[in-house]
Amino acid sequence: MCINYITVSRQLALEWFRTPVEVDDTWRDEIYHDFKGLFIVHDEHGQRQGRIGSYGFIPQRHRPLKRLTNDEKAKFESRVEKARATGRPEPKVPRIALETMNARVEEVGSKITYKKFWLSQQLCIVPALNVFEPNWETGSHERWAINLANGEPFGLPGMWRTWEEEDGTICYSFTHFTLNSDDHLLLRRFHRANEEKRGGAILRSEHYDDWLSSKDPEFARALIELYRPEELNAFKAPKLKGDGPSEQEKIEEETTQVSTAPQGDLFGG
């Protein structure tokens, strides 16, 4: 499972992925949950096109509101009062926690969050330079990076959808696919010992346009794979000062993490 990765620049999107990004928007190099990121689709003429969307199929702002217990309500109201007293932005109304940065290939055709979009083949490519995974082999958490052994950029097979915002504008969101990696000699080293091992699927570059133009879920499913261990490179990649979400982004995210729900159980529209 990957929930953090390094994307590509506008120039690299054009030069390596042959994808123009015509929208006047910017994105960060390192992408986290709900950050704006680049993804690639086919336009109506079958040509590659870059779009910008939220990383995570269900953006934070579109999750259902959390039904608070009396204790949770009191704590939230206390935080609101404290924010007002100190002149800081008020916390947002808590929403349920739901991680949809990754979609499990084995369940994408049955989970209500994804089924409609999988069957209609709203597929995309998420360009990346590396992805990050947690390693616990030492007994403590270490962040590791995974990239291609040849150092080239790569495309993660993904899926996208639209959302209508309160002001009537249309925005995009996207996710990418994972596969079980219990038997993968490299990818099974990541995540805790008692957790299922999941690895981020990577598309073969010769399959990019086949993937984007697919109208058949079973044809698309056959293109989703884990690269062989010898095709990948993994190394320690500790976060540096200034990496990751800002303090305000952390505060906003924290207000949504009141409870957890299984990935992919909401939103079929």
Longest dimension (CA), the chain: 58
Of 236, 101, 108, the residue nearest 156 (C-alpha) = 101
Set out the domains of the chain in order of their start, with CATH numbers.
5-254 (3.90.1680.10)
Q: Looking at per-residue confidence, does 99 or 255 come out higher?
A: 99
Of 77-81, 91-95, 233-237, the one with minimum mean pLDDT is 91-95
User: Please, which residues have CB within 8 angstroms of residue 101's CB and are 6 or more apart in sequence?
Assistant: 2, 3, 33, 55, 56, 57, 175, 176
Q: Are 95 and 259 a contacting pair, CB within 8 Å?
A: no
Helices (H), the chain: 10-15, 70-86, 115-119, 208-212, 217-223, 247-254
Rounded mean pLDDT, 166-191: 95
The pLDDT, as a whole number, for residue 136 is: 95
pLDDT at residue 248 tops 70: no
How much is the pTM?
0.84
